[in-house]
Amino acid sequence: MKYMLLIYGQEDAWTEAERMECIEESTDLCEELLAKGQYVASSPLHSVTTATSIRIRNGKRFVTDGPFAETVEQLGGYYIIDVENLDEAMAIASRIPPAKKGTVEIRPIFETARISDLIEQAQVKS
C-alpha cells in the first residue's frame, strides 16, 4: 500500500547547519528505502512565501498568494512510500529527520485504476 508522509514544521525552526544535516539524513533514508523497494518519491518544498492558492467558487477562479491556511506549522515536504501496512509507514515516518521538530502526517494514497493505467502508459512510452 502506498502512503504519503506529509512533513509539517515551522520554517524558522532550523539553523542552516541543521537544515543541511536534515537533507543529508533524509537522502540516506531515501537511499535505504530505494534499496528495499519502498521508495516512490520525496522532495522538500520551497518556502510558503512562494505558494499560490487557487479556489474555484461559482465557476470563478480566485488566486491568493501564500498557502491555503495560515498556521504555525507549514507543509515543508513529502515522501511517498510503498509498504505492507500502517505500522511500516509509522516506523519510516518516525525516522524522517523533521519529525524531531515538527509533525509527519501519514495518509494512505487512494489509487484509482484509471490513473494507474495512465501512469503505466506514460512509463512505457518513456
pTM over 0.85: no
Amino acid at 41: A
Backbone angles phi, psi at 47, to 5 degrees: -55, 150
User: Reduced to 3 states, what is the DSSP secondary structure of residue 95?
Assistant: coil
Low-confidence spans in the chain with pLDDT less than 70: 67-71
Cα–Cα dist 57/114, whole Å: 27
In this predicted structure, what is the pLDDT of residue 70?
A: 66
- The Cα-based distances of 91 to 40, 47, 55, 87 in angstroms read 16, 27, 35, 6
Query: What is the set of domains in the chain, with CATH numbers?
Result: 2-47+73-125 (3.30.70.1060)
pLDDT in tens, 85-99: 999 999 999 999 999
Backbone angles phi, psi at 23, to 5 degrees: -65, -40
Cα–Cα dist 69/31, whole Å: 33
